[in-house]
Amino acid sequence: GVDTLYVTGEAERQLARYYELHLPMILADTRVPVAERSRAVLQVAENLARDIINTPDGRVARRAVRLVQELATFVSDAPNALARLMQMLGDGSTLEEHSANTAILALVLSGSHRDATVDSLGEVAAAALMHDVGLSVVGSQILQKPGPLDANERVLVEQHPVIGEQMLRQVG
């Protein structure tokens, strides 16, 4: 068998889309190690976060809801799934990675609550996945600026929650 497969560029996005389409089957297959199922979840989450940021529409929002429902079920059913996901989180250097990381961390925090249900975990993860969608209009030149922001840049960054809320309302 193949131990490691390196995929980059458009093929990486195609692989993530494959994982997304087959995620229920992948996550339910206990023959697949938790680490591999976790890796699939993270790839799907980052790909979906990229789509939310680039084209926030109702279709992408529905995909996000499906993802977080699958994710909530996975972490409630698979022993050590949350611990494995936490170990795999990236550094959050991209908005997509940051959004996926935030969704996983939100699950960790809310999943420790004794009254947490799969539905409530799904709602928390969906909100966390989309929490910074408004940053997509700010622009990378401001988000990655090495020095302090000027007054106009700061106002734009501070408005990202309102902008994101408006974007999400438009897509329903």
Containing H/E element for 2? none
- The tens-digit pLDDT sequence of the chain (172 residues) is 777 788 888 888 888 889 899 999 999 999 999 988 988 888 888 888 888 777 777 787 778 878 878 887 888 888 788 788 888 887 777 888 888 888 878 877 776 666 777 777 777 877 888 888 888 888 888 888 889 999 999 999 999 999 888 888 887 6
108-131, pLDDT tens digit by residue? 777 666 677 777 777 787 788 888
Closest CA to 20 of 136, 90, 100, 82: 100
Angstrom CA distances, 164 to 23, 76, 122, 131, 160, stand at 27, 29, 19, 7, 6
- Which tokens sit at 64? 């996000």
CB neighbours (10 Å) of residue 40? Answer: 21
136-155, pLDDT tens digit by residue? 888 888 888 889 999 999 99
Question: Which residues, at least 6 apart from 96, have a Cβ–Cβ distance to it below 8 Å?
Answer: 46, 47, 49, 50, 53
Distance from C-alpha of 41 to C-alpha of 8, rounded to nearest angstrom: 17
Closest CA to 139 of 119, 122, 159: 159
Q: How far is CA 78 from the centre of its chain?
A: 19
Which of helix, strand or coil describes residue 146?
coil
Note whether 72 and 149 are within 8 A (CB): no
Work out the mean pLDDT of the chain and round it to a whole number: 83
CB neighbours (10 Å) of residue 59? Answer: 11
Question: Which residues, at least 6 apart from 32, have a Cβ–Cβ distance to it below 8 Å?
Answer: 26
CB neighbours (10 Å) of residue 68? Answer: 26
pTM, rounded to two decimals:
0.69
